[in-house]
Copies of this chain bind each other. A is one copy, B any other.
Amino acid sequence: MKSITEDLIRNTIRIRPNQSHKGTYGRVTLVGGNQNMGGAIIMATTAAVYSGAGLVSTLTDMHNLSSLHSRLPEAMVANILDSNQIKKLIPGANVVVVGPGLGTDDQSKNILQLTLQNVQPNQIVIIDGSAITMVAQDKIKLPKAHIIFTPHQMEWQRLSGIKIADQKNQNLNQKVRDKLNAIVVLKSHHTQIYTSKDTFINPGGTPAQATGGMGDTLAGMIAGFTAQFKNTENAVLAAVYAHSAIADKLAERRYVVLPHQIAERIPFFMHNYQSFK
């Protein structure tokens, strides 16, 4: 297993070309946030915007409209219960995130299915949180696309059938990943990333991050990074690395690091690591 290196980050975060516009940096559509877990989709959306995605749209329960715009006027919002909006905003995106705060009831399942049905083969699709649980439990059909799963250990158990105690066995994880044909970001103290070529371990991470919403922020960062950087695997690795590197820095003075604080530091981190044109 390889450790993610600073070099890899530097070789991923390119210096932005002068001749560019917001379209250059990708369109991200996020799907999530029911009436109870609106904060999750707010945090994911915030992370996508602060990572530098060119245009960000969020399909969410309209109860979350005011709070999302209060925190983040930079994102567009559409009604998650309006299937026409899903049919329009999913195909138009470069990267789709589905799951943060989505829930697992029947309505959530319908939304997940409609989202995945509208995914295009060239798209990157990040399946996070409750969407992983539903994919695991409800045998929802995965679309042809570049799929990224971001499970924590219990979600990986549900999806892979590998019990948490057995997840130390990387070969086992890798085998399920091969069947899924996806990038798997297995979140834990030192997050592991399983790709088609290799397995990586994230050197950073702090227990100060162990608080609700941390994964939503990571999902949004992966969206922002993959929307901008061509090599999807490296973009995922860079997002995972950046997420915990920022947290480690903040934890030098804080007992607990809140997800929204990480998001706000992303532009500074990326500035420091950008290194080629």
Contacts and interface: CB of A to CB of B under 8 A. Distances in A.
Total copies of the chain: 4
By secondary structure, the A interface counts as mixed
Contacts of A39: 69, 72-77
Nearest to A52: B256
Contacts of A161: none
Interface in A175-210: 188-189, 206-208, 210
Interface in A20-55: 20-22, 24-25, 35-40, 42-43, 46, 49-55
B70 A66 contact: yes
A18 B20 CA distance: 43
A38 B77 contact: yes
A43 B20 CA distance: 22
A247 interface: no
Query: Which bracket fits the contact residues of A?
Result: 35 or more
Given A36-B78, A38-B65, A271-B253, A25 B73 contact: no
Contacts of A63: 62, 65-66
Contacts of A253: 267-268, 271
Contacts of A70: 66-67, 70-71
What 3 pairs across the A-B complex have the smallest Cβ distances? A39-B73, A255-B270, A67-B69
Interface of A: 13, 16-22, 24-25, 35-40, 42-43, 46, 49-56, 62-79, 152-153, 188-189, 206-208, 210-214, 251, 253-260, 266-271, 274
Given A66-B70, A258-B267, 8 more contacts: A16-B208, A21-B210, A39-B72, A39-B75, A55-B212, A63-B65, A74-B213, A254-B271
